[in-house]
Amino acid sequence: MTRRCNCPGVFECIYNGSGVIIGKKHFLLVENAARHLIVAGLFLYLGALYFVDTNRQNTIFYLSVALPGLLLLGTSKDVLSVGFKEVRFVFVFLLYLVASSLWSGMGIANFFVALKYSFYLACLMLSIHLFVSRTPAGEQAMTRFFVLIGFLASLVYLFFAFRSAFSGANPLVGRYSLNDLSGWGENNPITSAVFFGLPVLAAWWRYPDEKLASRIGLLFLMVACMGVMFLTKSRGPFLSLAITLLFVTVYRRNWSDIVLWAVYGIVGLGFVLALDLHSVIADRVSAPDYRMEIWSQALGLISERLLWGYGYGSVVALSFGAGDLATHSHSSILEVLRVGGIAGGALFLAMVFLAVRKCLSGNAGAKFFLFWLIYGVMCLSTNGRLLLSRPSVEWVAFWIPLFFMLIASGNSREPGRRDGAFST
């Protein structure tokens, strides 16, 4: 049996049969601690991308973001305040993918798996909302974070590369993931390159606003991170990064970007000549790429169930090369169409369109996240899986920049930046 005391406001207490007092004040203390933990957990997860494998990345997310997210479910309605229509479409898209598991023919278990992953994404959005709502310069904080983590991580992995070179191996010839270089970290070369493209994008974004000493440091950082990307021999992330930086140049119309292109053109040519990388680059460019075979078969499957798709959890086996099989379309966009059909594709496009429109018409401090999203979508278009998944590269390349873009666009505290017709 319980009874209440007459304490006012947050000090209202509940007495249980054992005489223990449970007050609202204590619940608020726990909730406040969860708010701090979930924001710290977001950065812990992002930092872990560069130093531990996927399984450990997931564990860090579950413990530091999803777990405190359970305590904050009552505050999740606050996320809607940054843009009801745009956020609503995110959840409509996710719920459609969850519902599609019912016609996948793979049992009810997939329904609960999809629901679980949707909950994880809701916790991710909540952590980003709490960070942006208490940070007056979220864009600057995120770019600074990626610059620092990229600087540290690139030094670590280049150290291992140089050490292997001194032991007789030639790291310039092989194709390496972060795990191949060091014995720990991401074990997929393409994903490794995607991760190290982000510090380059962040450093390029910050470059025009920095003083001379910081600019020199950013130049070395970008060279180091692109060096790690080169060791992965991953073509897609390199091309996606180059196109994204070109978009940044066109958008900003700043002479600093022209200088960066000139500097890295000269530096790149210098490395090619000094290290005799002609044959390495030519071999990688001419290496077989079976994506066209995979995409052709995926489009054939999509045409067979055009309207509603095969449903979440449906199994696919796409043959390529000499009898090899792919278990996904190697394109997140094609996977959305295969799983959700035209209906799922329409919801996806509506979700992205509303988010981009909000970003372009909203706070100028969210523009970096738009270019992060462009980079990520291009990477996922050539090697991504379904977007509704456990924490993965799809989160880093799509969901995280999308959520930042949505929330930072509606944050009145986010300062803008100065852009002009080839300003300096």
**Could you state, in order of their start, the residue ranges of all structural domains in the chain?**
77-409
Structure confidence at residue 419 (pLDDT): 44
- Structure tokens belonging to residue 315: 């199994």
Tens digit of pLDDT per residue, the chain (424 long)? 445 555 444 344 544 455 444 556 666 787 888 889 999 999 999 999 999 999 999 999 999 999 999 888 777 666 666 667 888 899 999 999 999 999 998 889 999 999 999 999 999 999 999 999 887 778 899 999 999 999 999 999 999 999 988 877 788 888 899 999 999 899 999 999 999 999 999 999 999 999 999 999 999 999 999 999 999 999 999 999 999 999 999 999 999 999 999 999 999 888 888 777 777 777 777 777 788 899 999 999 999 999 999 999 998 888 887 778 888 899 999 999 999 999 999 999 999 999 999 998 877 778 999 999 999 999 999 999 999 999 999 999 999 999 999 998 876 554 545 444 334 3
Q: What is the pLDDT of residue 342?
A: 97
pLDDT number for residue 12 = 45
Cα–Cα distance for residue pair 97/100, rounded to 1 Å? 5
How much is the pLDDT for 60? 96
What pLDDT, on the 0 to 100 scale, is given for residue 318?
87
C-alpha closest to that of 394 among 407, 381, 405, 406? 381
pLDDT at residue number 192: 96
Q: Could you tell me if residue 135 is left (phi over 0), alpha (psi between -120 and 50 degrees) or otherwise beta?
A: beta
CA 143 vs CA 203, 369, 372: distances in Å: 7, 10, 10
Q: Residue 54 carries which side chain, given as an amino acid letter?
A: T
Q: How many CA atoms lie within 13 A of 245 on its CB side?
A: 26
Burial grade of 8 (CB within 10 A; 0-12, 13-18, 19 or more): exposed
Report residue 79 CA to chain centroid gap: 19
Nearest CA to 138 out of 395, 363, 419 is that of 363
pLDDT value of residue 24: 64
* Alpha carbons 199 and 254: distance in angstroms, whole number: 20
Cα separation, 226 vs 218, in Å, equals: 12
Instruction: Identify the pLDDT of residue 378.
Output: 97
Identify which of 321, 314, 216 has the alpha carbon closest to the alpha carbon of residue 259: 216
* Predicted local distance difference test score (pLDDT) of residue 25: 67
